[in-house]
Amino acid sequence: MYGYVIEDGKAVIDEVNAKQIRQLYENYLSGDSLQNAAAKAGINKVHSGITRILSNRKYLGTKYYPAIIDREIYNMVQEERHRRAVALGRVHDETLNEPPALKAPPAPLGFWMRPLEIKFQDPYKQAEFAYSLIEREMS
């Protein structure tokens, strides 16, 4: 995992990468986009890789991984990620009392067509002919 090296079967903090991770969190909280925050921190990763670093709870510390980020900074980043997603319309926030996106109106089920006067043996030709007889949809 980025920010750690394995020594004698244990995860140990790689201080150079850990410093970059801490800087990434700070840059993101200061308003930088994912890509800009990572570039300023010296992290060369794609959007999804940066997102994984920002959302990885293991950076808080586990039995195997020592902590790189404290809980307060981690929680602030998660709140900021959610706030930005809501602002971009990617998430519906119940607390904003906004209605969910309206669904598209259903397709009309009624139509008017001329009488079916010719019958074909081939069902595909029959269907094609029947569709050609539709003159208008009714609401």
Give the mean pLDDT of 112-126: 86
Is residue 8 domain-shared with residue 39, that is, in the same domain? yes
What is the number of domains present in the chain?
2
* Exposure string over 36-61, b if 16+ CB within 10 A, otherwise e: ebbbbbebebeeeebeebbebebbee
Is residue 82 domain-shared with residue 131, that is, in the same domain? no
Is residue 64 domain-shared with residue 118, that is, in the same domain? no
Give the mean pLDDT of 116-135: 86
How many other C-beta atoms are found inside a 10 Å radius of the C-beta of residue 117? Answer: 7
Is residue 90 domain-shared with residue 108, that is, in the same domain? no
Is residue 107 domain-shared with residue 45, that is, in the same domain? no
Expressed as residue numbers, the domain containing 129 is 103-139
Is residue 51 domain-shared with residue 83, that is, in the same domain? yes
Is residue 68 domain-shared with residue 112, that is, in the same domain? no
84 pLDDT above the threshold of 70: yes
pLDDT tens digits for 2-49?
999 999 999 999 999 999 999 999 999 999 999 999 999 999 999 999
pLDDT tens digits for 47-83?
999 999 999 999 999 999 999 999 999 999 999 999 9
Is residue 64 domain-shared with residue 37, that is, in the same domain? yes
> In CATH, what number is assigned to the domain containing residue 34?
3.90.1750.20
Is residue 42 domain-shared with residue 77, that is, in the same domain? yes
Is residue 80 domain-shared with residue 115, that is, in the same domain? no
